A and B are shown apart, each in its own frame.
Chain A
Amino acid sequence: MKDQQQAMELVRASLARRYAAERRFRVAGLTAILLGLTFVSFLFVSIIANGHPAFWQTVIQLEVKFDSQFLDPTGERSPDVLSAADYGGLVKQTLREMFPDVSGRRDKRELYGLVSTGAAYQLRNMVMSEPALVGSTKKVWVPADDDVDMLMKGHLSREAPEAERRLSDKQVAWIDDLIGMGQLEKRFNTTFFTAGDSREPELAGIWGAAVGSFFTLVVTLCLSFPVGVAAAVYLEEFAPQNRWTDLIEVNINNLAAVPSIVFGLLGLAVFLNFFALPRSAPVVGGLVLTLMTLPTIIIASRAALKSVPPSIREAALGIGSSKVQMVVHHVLPLALPGMLTGTIIGMAQALGETAPLLMIGMVAFIVDIPGSAFDPSTVLPVQIYLWADSPERAFVEKTSAAIMVLLSFLIVMNAFAIMLRKRFERRW
């Protein structure tokens, strides 16, 4: 009796301490989750805060006199002459006319520096598509240089001493003049969505990389979905229980955890050096990513096949269908939503993958938009990597904006996969 009381005393005395430990543990758990969630939100906030200005681009209005003497002195108006004309000179002439009191080589060069080098190409394209412009005067909005853009977006400080600023005091004064005249404003940046890569931030866009990603994913999907589903069907429905099957399973599980860069080494040694496939081509990228995503797709497809109840199979076999008919007519249609979900998740992984593609040369600087899966190209994540390495301040926001685009693709794909699962998920 006394022992029991003593024991109760002991327990009671320790209760406060034990409850405190309980509370501490609980708070630690909650803190861990909140930390994780903070990381998620911090990541998104920092990317969006950095990236959203990239969707706007500073443009300058030029009143261009398409001087026929200057562009086409012979008056032939032939495409050859027009395309070879000095449009860079035309832009400079226009700028000199806008600021007639600028003299001296140095000042002139600074003046020309306000406008992007892309302006000349823009004028050329206008003339080429409409030769009648020659001889007329037209107001044209052309992209400003990235330094001007950065000043307008507040990334270049006006207060900083001139020597530490990428724009001189005179240039800043001209910019203020242009703002005063209503000839400089920020517009929605369509270049970013339609152009390929460029060394000039104001001319760089993600379209080339997006098309490259598209071709790569198409190749990956066309190869990995049929092969992955076929492998899963074999292992789940046909394979006998033996060493060979075990070996295949062990291999699949291991491949799922092999670092992605090792797949890049495989692609370099086998596809490029042995089979001599073209470097930097989406078709090779697709092949490498196929090998990488196959384990994901096989594992997901097997889970989907497993969830189809055996009664379906027995019923099909019972009314006399062959095993292949049973699988093709009954099991596959029921397992297809699960397989598709797994495939979409695998594709999302492939879309975000960078390291193996670096190995097979998809890091090249490519301006042209790829026209087929055999043209050299780059993909979105690699484009992000390339821009992240560029020194210009303007590329920081381009990189963040490209990340926003990539993440929105991934979110859409994953949301679609979740929707598919919710819509077709079946409890038997």
Chain B
Amino acid sequence: MESPVLLLVLLGLSALAYQLGRRRALSVAGGQIRQLHSLPSYYGYHVALWCAVPALLLFAAWNAFEGSIVTQTVVADLPAHIRELPPEQLALVVNDIRNIVGGNIVSKEVDADMQAAADHYLHLRNLSRAALSVSVLGLAIAGAAFALTRVRREQRARNAVERAILVFLIASSTLAIFTTIGIVLSVLFESLRFFQQVSVTEFLFGLQWSPQMAIREDQVGSSGAFGAVPLFAGTMLISAIAMVVAVPIGLMSAIYLSEYAGRKFRATAKPMLEILAGIPTVVYGFFAALTVAPFIRDSGSMLGLDVSSESALAAGLVMGIMIIPFVSSLSDDVINAVPQAMRDGAYGLGATRSETIRKVIIPAALPGIVGGILLAVSRAIGETMIVVMAAGLSANLTANPLEAVTTVTVQIVTLLVGDQEFDSPKTLAAFALGLMLFLTTLVLNVIALHVVRKYREQYE
């Protein structure tokens, strides 16, 4: 039976189990619900859970291990001359066998051995599928039958069902922790493998970045250099340009919206500005590459400046536009949280509005604003699509915004998109860069969240 059909049948069985459990509970109670510990439907749910959960667990475990067990059995039965090949070639053969089974294109001529192995594979897989169907459905029926025999008046069905629900809730909430662990482990492992080949100091302090490795030993001019300083510098340059655009505009518009604007103006202008936050970054990237970068290059050449067509300025400007709503809505929150009494006090002393804002509100809101800006910086550092589409690929160590620079995220994308071998430093470097990126943004976020929270407590 195919997996979707099997799951549907399982669903049907569980529904049936629910009905049977409910009926059974009612008949045990002699039609008097009052005699039961829980409502009849809880007995139904209890039986349905016993029907579905063990069967689903078996299904998941079977699917997880089926592939490798079948492959191992097939490999063990291969003729000796194939079995004794080196591991890489054996892996190729296994791949070919799978391709024959899947009806795909095979890397070489299909000989009799391969065909036999493929037939064997197919046979084993079909066997395994059939066994899976039988055992899953058998387990489902057995579980339901077991639960049905246990239906009694005093059985605490509700408590059992609620415990199952609680287990699901707890499991869902721990997923966030597992995600973090997964991120850390996946980048950390590959990074460690990278640092076995390239020293940490070279990576952190080296000034040369050219990750093209020689494929053959005798190839010229591509030994690979993994000094990440130019990437960090490029990231910083573009983020700095973005912040120069976003912070004044975002902050000033937040101030205007919360202190000067009338209700109507605020109600229209705020959502309009927030449109900017909802636009996908790939759109910004296209806009930067197609409209902004040529515009900057042309106006630069009119002024007699030599501007690269992938200048840091274009990417930074557009990234700044993207971050404006981020800065403005965070600052808006903080400014609104400043108690009205402080404003009234300043007005009472005869200060004008702008003096109140500059001398009283901004200093009071400063920690929150700084926190918001830190979050925005972490956003800018991690931003990918704008720089991939509008910034350059070559790692220049420069502070000139008119030249092309590259960033950490651009390099991760270029290293990992396309064909890769998984143990070359070129691929592993991407994970090391990912680790740096994750750590940097993590530190920024922790500081920012801490500052913002501390500030909120101050006025609450």
Interface residues of A (CB under 8 A from B): 11, 18-19, 21-22, 24-26, 28-33, 35-37, 39-40, 43, 46-47, 50, 226-228, 230-231, 233-235, 238-239, 247-248, 251-255, 257-263, 265-266, 268-270, 273, 276, 291, 294-295, 298, 322-324, 348, 351-355, 358-359, 363, 381-382, 384-385, 388-389, 396, 399-400, 403, 406-407, 410, 414
Beyond A32-B256, A33-B256, A348-B278, whether A254 also contacts B446 by CB under 8 A is yes
Residues of A within 8 A of B168 (CB): 230
Cβ–Cβ contact B166 & A259, under 8 A = no
Verify B183–A261 contact, CB threshold 8 A: no
A282 to chain B, nearest CB (A): 16
Among B29-37, B78-86, B142-150, B285-293, the stretch that binds chain A is B285-293
B417 beta carbon closer than 8 Å to chain A:
yes
Q: B174 and A266: CB pair below 8 A?
A: no
Assess the A363–B417 pair: CB atoms within 8 A.
Answer: yes
Nearest CB to that of A33 among chain B residues? B253
Known: A230-B169, A276-B67. 4 other contacts (CB 8 A): A31-B252, A35-B249, A259-B382, A261-B409
- Tell me the bound Cα distance from A190 to B204 in angstroms: 53
- A-binding residues in B (CB < 8 A): 67, 158, 162, 165-166, 168-170, 172-177, 179-180, 182-183, 186-187, 189-190, 248-253, 255-257, 259-261, 269, 272-273, 275-276, 278-283, 285-287, 289-291, 321, 324-325, 328, 350, 352-355, 357-358, 375, 378-379, 381-385, 388-389, 409, 412-413, 416-417, 422, 430-431, 434, 437-438, 441-442, 445-446, 449
Q: Could you say which of B165, B166, B281 contacts A355, with CB atoms under 8 Å apart? A: B281
Residues of chain B lying within 8 A (CB to CB) of residue A298: 176
- Out of B252, B257, B275, B445, name the residue touching A40 (CB < 8 Å): B275
Measured CA separation A102–B354 after assembly (Å): 77
Quote the shortest CB–CB distance from A52 to chain B (angstroms).
Answer: 15
- A385–B384 CA distance with the chains assembled, in angstroms: 12
Within the complex, which residue of B251, B280, B431, B442 is in contact with A265, where a contact is CB–CB below 8 Å?
B431
Chain B residues whose CB sits within 8 angstroms of the CB of A234 once the complex forms: 166, 169-170, 172-173
State how many angstroms separate the Cβ of B339 from the closest Cβ of chain A: 21
Taking a contact as CB atoms under 8 Å apart, the answer to whether B352 and A22 are in contact is yes
| CB-CB under 8 A for A22 and B353, given A253-B449, A259-B381 | yes
15 pairs of residues in contact across A and B, judged by CB atoms under 8 Å: A29-B259, A29-B260, A40-B272, A43-B321, A230-B173, A251-B179, A257-B375, A257-B445, A261-B413, A265-B431, A269-B190, A352-B282, A354-B385, A385-B388, A400-B286
What separation, in Å, do the CA atoms of A29 and B445 have in the docked complex?
28
Query: Would you give the shortest CB distance from A289 to chain B, in whole angstroms?
Result: 12
- Expressed in whole angstroms, the minimum distance between the Cβ of A213 and any Cβ of chain B is 11
Would you call B169 and A233 a contact (CB within 8 A)? yes
Q: Compute the total of residue contacts between A and B using a CB distance below 8 Å.
A: 250
CA distance A354 to B413 in the complex (A): 11
B328 contact set on A, CB distance < 8 A: 36
Are B180 and A254 interface neighbours, CB within 8 A? yes
Report the minimal beta-carbon distance from A363 to chain B, rounded to whole angstroms.
Answer: 6
Q: Is the CB of B442 within 8 A of A254?
A: yes
- Which residues of B sit under 8 angstroms from A238, Cβ to Cβ? 166, 169
Which residues in A have their C-beta under 8 angstroms from that of B260? 26, 29-30
- Our pick among B177, B269, B285 for the contact of A388 (Cβ within 8 Å) is B285
Instruction: Please state if A36 and B352 are interface contacts (CB–CB under 8 Å).
Output: no
Q: How far is the CA of A33 from the CA of B388 in the complex (A)?
A: 28
Chain B, residue nearest A418 (CB): B271
Q: How far is the CA of A28 from the CA of B353 in the complex (A)?
A: 14
Q: What's the nearest-Cβ distance from chain A to residue B370, in Å?
A: 16
Contact B378 A231 (CB under 8 A): no
Which chain B residues border A270 with CB–CB below 8 Å?
182, 186
Question: Chain B binding site: helix, strand, loop or mixed by DSSP?
Answer: helix
Most chain A CB inside 10 Å of its own CB: which residue of B183, B379, B446: B183
Of all chain B residues, the one with the shortest Cβ separation from A381 is: B282
B286 near A403 with CB under 8 A, answer yes
Q: Do B273 and A388 touch (CB < 8 A)?
A: no
CB distance from B443 to the nearest CB of A (A): 11
Asked if A40 and B283 sit within 8 Å, CB to CB, the answer is: no
Minimal beta-carbon separation of A393 from chain B (angstroms): 11
The answer to whether B273 and A40 touch across the interface, beta carbons within 8 angstroms, is yes
Q: Are A352 and B280 in contact (CB under 8 A)?
A: yes
A355-B291 in contact (CB<8A):
no
Distance, CA A66 to CA B187, complexed state (A): 61
Give min CB distance, A342 to chain B, whole Å.
Answer: 14
- Is B354's CB under 8 angstroms from A22's CB? yes
B183 contacts which chain A residues (CB < 8 A)?
258, 262-263, 265-266
Question: B169 touches which one: A22, A43, A231, A253 (CB < 8 A)?
Answer: A231
| Cβ–Cβ < 8 Å partners of A37 in chain B | 269, 272-273
B324 CB contact (under 8 Å) in A39, A384, A388, A389: A39
Is the Cβ of B252 less than 8 Å from the Cβ of A251? no
B124 to chain A, nearest CB (A): 18
Asked whether, in the complex, the Cβ of A260 is within 8 Å of the Cβ of B382, the reply is yes
Residue of A nearest to B4 (CB): A372
Complex CA–CA separation, A270 to B438 (angstroms): 16
Q: Which residue of B lies closest to A24 (CB)?
A: B354
- Residues in chain B near residue A358, CB distance under 8 A: 413, 416-417
CB distance from A210 to the nearest CB of B (A): 15
Which chain A residues border B269 with CB–CB below 8 Å? 33, 37
What residues on B are CB-neighbors of A322 within 8 Å?
158, 162
Contact of B278 among A39, A247, A414 (CB under 8 A): A414
User: Are A46 and B291 closer than 8 Å at their CB atoms?
Assistant: yes
- Contact status B445-A254, CB under 8 Å: yes
Q: Is the CB of A354 within 8 A of B281?
A: yes
Q: Which of A233, A247, A265 contacts B412 (CB 8 A)?
A: A265
B447 to chain A, nearest CB (A): 11
Structural contact, A248 and B273, CB atoms closer than 8 A: no
Q: Are A258 and B441 within 8 A (Cβ)?
A: yes
Interface centre among B172, B290, B291 (most CB of A within 10 A): B172
B280 cross-chain contacts in A, Cβ below 8 A: 351-354, 381, 406, 410
- Measured between beta carbons, the chain A residues less than 8 angstroms from B382 are 258-262
Q: How far is the CA of A43 from the CA of B442 in the complex (A)?
A: 32
| A25 / chain B contacts, CB cutoff of 8 Å | 353-354, 357-358
Q: Which residue of A lies closest to B269 (CB)?
A: A33
Asked, given contacts A39-B276, A253-B449, A265-B187, whether A19 binds B352 with beta carbons under 8 Å apart, the answer is: yes
Is B413 a contact partner of A251 (Cβ separation < 8 A)? Answer: no
Tell me which of B248, B285, B324 contacts A385 (CB under 8 A). B285
CB pair A262–B437 under 8 Å, yes or no, is yes
Looking across the interface, which residue of chain B has its beta carbon closest to that of A295? B176
Complex formed: what's the CA distance from A244 to B417 in Å? 38
The 6 closest A-B pairs by CB, nearest first: A259-B382, A29-B256, A352-B280, A269-B186, A32-B252, A25-B354
